[in-house]
A and B are shown apart, each in its own frame.
Chain A
Amino acid sequence: MPTVIIDGIEYEVEQGRNMLEAVLDNGLDLPYFCWHPAMGSVGACRLCAVRLYRDESDTQGKIAMACMTPANDGTRISIQDPEATEFRRCVVEWLMTNHPHDCPVCDEGGHCHLQDMTTMCGQTYRRFRFKKRTYTNQYLGPFLTHEMNRCIQCYRCVRFYRDLAGGRDFNVFGSRNRIYFGRQRDGVLESEFSGNLAEVCPTGVFTDKTSARHYTRKWDLRTAPSVCIHCGLGCNTIPGSRYNKMRRIEGRFNGDVNGYFLCDRGRYGYEFSYDTIRSENAIDDAQNALKEAKGVVGIGSPRASLESNYALQKLVGVEHFSAGLSEFEQEAAEQYLSVFKSGTAQMLSLAEVELADVVVVLGIDPTGEAPMLDFAIRQAMRKAPMEVARKLNIPDWDANAVINALNGAKGKLYIAAPWSIKLQEIATEAINVTPANVAVFARDISRGAVDGLASGISTELAKAKKPLVVTGISAGADTILAASELAGSIPGCGLFVTAPEANTLGVAMLGGQSIRQAVDTIESGQADTLIVLENDLARRMSSPAFASLVENVKNMIVLDCIETQTTRAATTILPVATFFNSDGAFVNNESRAQRYYAVDPPVEDIPAAWSRIRDLGDFTWAGYEDILRELAADRPEFAGTLEAAPFADWRSTANRKIARETHRSSGRTSKDANRTMREPQPPDDAQTPLAFSMEGDQNPPASSAVIPRFWWPGWNSNAASNKYQKEVGAELHGGNPGVRLLTASGSEPEADRDKASVSYPQPAGESKEIWLIPRPYIFGSEELSRRGIAIGELIPPPEAAIHPQSAQKLGLTDGGTAELDFDGQTISLPIRVEESVAVGVIVVPMGFPETYGVTSPTVARVK
């Protein structure tokens, strides 16, 4: 480890850091703008100036940018040097010549990096006596507000958007002091990661537009550590609320999962919480129904917490419990679990995906299904040729020098999917084939095809330093098996398998029947009562099957927070707390158990689902933790869930709970002044080590899993996260949250070849038959987020896409209507004929009301 000298004191730093990182790694302060831990240095803002000395004997030194200075052994700088200090103040003063003095009306105020740095640099007095520059702003879509006058030209936005996220519709225009960051013309930003602009922008140019509808300062937000509920990756989030209403979501750093960033579905999906059901408390009806029931079946849910699902399993018994997955998903999930346990391939975390150099994507669409995986693959492809720069002695953090040296070189990305997925724009090669042929293709690669693309890929995989195969539960059991065989056949090859929903893997691990089997139990008369936990069955079975179920079931008790086809068909509805009003655990796609905490207490008489279930049965659980403890005792593979985060009795080193509100939280007594003049007692939280009030510890908790916000003296913005990390940009103090539940046992993966036919019902070769495939869209396919106001604006109109060749064969024309018969139901959609779809398939949006019933690849007849 190199030793550097900062203001005369020696510090150790990791190899390969720059001096700004060295300073921050050691807990010292040095202001900066353009550097970002995930984006490296470019030396543009000049704020991190220090005095750099050649050696011990050099008393003169020179001003240098810490972020552009390698932290070599013996590097000697002074932060406190008067000239450097004065220069840093000047930099802020220069920026302030044009920055508006509009903090009171600026959405960034209070968590603004520019405010922090201005204070840190001691810039207080304005010497500039001329007019400020002004710009016009742009409409950038429903997610972000654009206020260019506040720009300090740090270039972070364009670097994130273009260099990291791969977006091409956003840039920097003009020159000198008229530099402009935006789009060529007004319009919706195309990148799925645009919301991160609000976080990387150190001032108020890009702010969260959804939050502006009901704006709240950071210090007035009630926040809690949480996990994203909108896909299976389990990105860590910090939701913020005020007056019991969700205001915004920001990323919560987790070095093993999402790092600093979130996708736009994860950031803006929270607006579903405005659209929840309220109804009479019908718990008595439900209890009576259960008393009279001749057999009860319980259907769990991949979007419900582990403890709610387990509670339901306990209530109805394992044999009558369904995980709530469609048959296709259930089978694929089981296949995935068996592959995981077998240890055939090394299962990677999302963060590890970024280290891969050759990636093969099989049968899934990361951008639509698990968007941060798209982002991770982009980072992998960007960093893969880094060796070229290293050979030229360019450090990894020297961002623009790296880009210039690599000259557009990328890692190798191969894709086989039924339609052109967005990642194809950076792919080395891609083929679009039917789902069954994706698996065939994977086997061609692993079994050493003699020529063609498959053979090329197998050569590249063999040469790779960090090869990786990516697939997902939505690709089907057979593709998962084929993918694992492929990964297993290549030494050191990683495997990454996506799960469609936040807790798909959790429920799959709990085990149980598929929905189909559960329904059979009812239809065969073995049971007459159904309890559905936070699950819209209409999305997971064909419409006739759903209708028949509704008809055959005597009592259908539905627990949910949103109105769905299923709640509409229920005989009894038990409203339950939303995700943001309950605590729990999810198991993400790599079997990482992560705990999330309620931002707000449950609203009056709407408790968390698990407690509803407790009330339906004969249980003594005091809280959700009791359920988790019981689960862990019952099923040892869930033991890690207990370690994933501290329990309710945990206290900070100061022996206090963690405050969800800041001690600057204003207006506690006035919040309810329209109703009462008494200062109400803050809501109690017996369930967790956090308090719903400002009472409690404000310091960073020793356990990284209960960080409710990043905040540090002098660092009000999210950049405060650097104080929570061992090395800036790396692991959190106390380790990154989450515990991986599954380990490889070395058993053979169960491979039931016959199942392949179940996964992929082959068209019978009849001329009117075609594969019907649901395609996940980032906006519109996921059940909860599609209810959001902002996301709702971006849901594409539903269409059926088909290759010209297939269209011709079936007599379909562009702009016409496709009537598709499958599983006894018919859907009709406008047709779009395009080359980007595999021959022999017709692709429709997944999870749209127009496509309910299309739960997995199936065979349809064209009318």
Chain B
Amino acid sequence: MTKGACRRDFMLTVEECAEIKEELIHSPTPRAACVDALKVVQRHRGWIDDEALGDVAELLGMSSAELDGVATFYNLIFRQPVGEHVILVCDSISCWLVGSESVLSALERRLGIKAGETTADGKFTLLLTVCLGHCDIAPVMMLDGEIIGNLTQEKIDDALKRALSSPVDAENVGEDE
């Protein structure tokens, strides 16, 4: 890897750089690895800030405008800060039919925030998302990468409690292995 060895002036960590370079090795073109590279950063920081975006772009030989064009297109790349735990509540049709609206209001009540917001203590971010592909266990949400279905008030409370007591499993949130 000649281009973009992890430079001293980078705000990316050595781990992040190493993981991005790992993605690059398997990628037919540097650009094809850009979503994976963004996910590396997101796994470490929860979201992509402008400086990190610039560093990733540099590593991939892209301009930050080119990389941000990709980053801002996709739903699961966050360009704004999120809380420690991210909750994605499905608001598509199958979940809606079986009560996603009450799931959402339950969550909003419990967390004291509206969809799209982060709790004041920075613990939870509550987001709406399109169909999660688990309509057979609707209503569904995804918490820190884990799918939780057949949601009821108790299941929601339980999931929130579990999240608070256990650190985020980076493996689960991001890539595998």
Contacts and interface: CB of A to CB of B under 8 A. Distances in A.
Contacts of A104: none
A168 B65 contact: yes
A169 B68 CA distance: 11
B50 A185 contact: yes
Interface in A171-215: 171-175, 180, 183-185
Interface of A: 168-175, 180, 183-185
B63 A169 contact: yes
B66 A168 contact: yes
A168 B57 CA distance: 12
22 contacts: A168-B63, A168-B66, A169-B63, A169-B65, A170-B65, A171-B66, A171-B69, A172-B69, A173-B68, A173-B72, A174-B73, A175-B72, A175-B73, A180-B72, A183-B65, A184-B50, A184-B53, A184-B63, A184-B64, A184-B65, A184-B68, A185-B50
A171 B63 CA distance: 10
A168 B31 CA distance: 14
A608 B65 CA distance: 48
A185 B69 CA distance: 12
A172 B68 CA distance: 9
- Chain A interface helix/strand/loop/mixed: loop
A173 B69 contact: yes
Contacts of A172: 69
Interface in B64-80: 64-66, 68-69, 72-73
Contacts of A185: 50, 64
A185 B67 CA distance: 13
A172 B72 CA distance: 9
B50 to A, nearest CB: 7
A458 to B, nearest CB: 30
Contacts of A180: 72
A172 B69 CA distance: 6
B72 A174 contact: yes
Given A168-B65, A184-B50, 6 more contacts: A169-B65, A171-B63, A173-B68, A175-B72, A184-B53, A185-B50
A283 B68 CA distance: 62
Nearest to A172: B69
Contacts of B68: 171, 173, 184
Among B50, B68, B69, residue most surrounded by chain A Cβ atoms (within 10 Å): B69
Among B64, B65, B69, residue most surrounded by chain A Cβ atoms (within 10 Å): B65
Contacts of A168: 63, 65-66
A411 to B, nearest CB: 20
Interface string B47-70: 000100100000000011110110
B71 to A, nearest CB: 8
Nearest to A408: B29
Q: Give the top 9 A-B pairs by smallest Cβ distance, nearest first.
A: A168-B63, A171-B65, A171-B69, A173-B72, A184-B65, A184-B64, A174-B72, A184-B68, A175-B73
A194 B65 CA distance: 16
A292 B76 CA distance: 85
B60 to A, nearest CB: 12
A175 B79 CA distance: 14
A183 B64 CA distance: 9
A173 B64 CA distance: 11
B54 to A, nearest CB: 8
A407 B52 CA distance: 28
Contacts of B63: 168-169, 171, 184
Contacts of A175: 72-73
A168 B65 CA distance: 7
B130 to A, nearest CB: 12
Nearest to B71: A173
A591 B53 CA distance: 49
A566 B73 CA distance: 57
A183 B69 CA distance: 10
A376 B121 CA distance: 57
Contacts of A171: 63, 65-66, 68-69
A89 B75 CA distance: 32
B59 to A, nearest CB: 16
A170 B50 CA distance: 16
A241 B147 CA distance: 66
A169 B63 CA distance: 7
A172 B71 CA distance: 11
Contacts of B72: 173-175, 180
Contacts of B53: 184
B99 to A, nearest CB: 27
A113 B72 CA distance: 29
A174 B65 CA distance: 12
Nearest to B75: A175
Contacts of B65: 168-171, 183-184
Among B50, B63, B64, residue most surrounded by chain A Cβ atoms (within 10 Å): B63
A185 B66 CA distance: 12
B77 to A, nearest CB: 11
Contacts of A170: 65
B153 to A, nearest CB: 33
A183 B73 CA distance: 15
A180 B79 CA distance: 15
B21 to A, nearest CB: 22
B33 to A, nearest CB: 16
A168 B66 CA distance: 7
Nearest to B29: A408
B75 to A, nearest CB: 9
A180 B68 CA distance: 11
B27 to A, nearest CB: 15
Contacts of A174: 72-73
Interface in B107-158: none
Contacts of B73: 173-175
B15 to A, nearest CB: 25
A487 B64 CA distance: 40
A644 to B, nearest CB: 43
Nearest to A173: B72
Nearest to A176: B73
Nearest to B57: A184
Nearest to A178: B72
A705 B50 CA distance: 50
Nearest to A175: B73
A442 B5 CA distance: 37
Interface string B68-111: 11001100000000000000000000000000000000000000
Nearest to A158: B69
A24 B72 CA distance: 37
A173 B53 CA distance: 14
Contacts of A173: 68-69, 72-73
A172 B64 CA distance: 12
A173 B74 CA distance: 10
A168 B72 CA distance: 17
A184 B63 CA distance: 9
A169 B64 CA distance: 7
Contacts of B50: 184-185
A163 to B, nearest CB: 13
Contacts of A169: 63, 65
A174 B69 CA distance: 7
A653 B33 CA distance: 63
A368 B64 CA distance: 25
A82 B116 CA distance: 44
A153 to B, nearest CB: 14
A111 to B, nearest CB: 29
A87 B53 CA distance: 41
A273 to B, nearest CB: 34
A168 B68 CA distance: 12
B1 to A, nearest CB: 20
A173 B73 CA distance: 7
Nearest to A182: B65
A168 B69 CA distance: 11
A424 to B, nearest CB: 15
A184 B50 CA distance: 9
A173 B79 CA distance: 12
Contacts of B69: 171-173
A184 B54 CA distance: 10
A183 B68 CA distance: 9
